[in-house]
Amino acid sequence: MNKVMLMYKGEKLNPYYLQGGGHTLEGGKAYIDAISVFNNEQSLFLIIFFWQLEQNLHKLE
């Protein structure tokens, strides 16, 4: 995960790392709660971003 976070930071992005990921009910709810503070366009971007982050993490494992 650290490699992926550094990769995104190197691209001048500001990724948010949810410890434990979104693989549990609590983790999924944490993503939803974090995204709910943004407007719809920002929320869609964040959902895609988090999904891509998870996919990249699994590729590195």
Q: What CA–CA distance (Å, rounded) separates 39 from 41?
A: 6
Question: For the chain, what are the domain ranges?
Answer: 2-60
pLDDT band at 50 (very low <50, low <70, confident <90, very high): confident
pLDDT tens digits, residue range 1-41?
788 888 888 988 887 777 766 677 887 787 777 777 776 67
The pTM assigned to this predicted structure is: 0.40
pLDDT for 22 equals 67
The closest alpha carbon to 31, from 39, 23, 14, belongs to: 23
Tell me the one-letter amino acid at 21: G
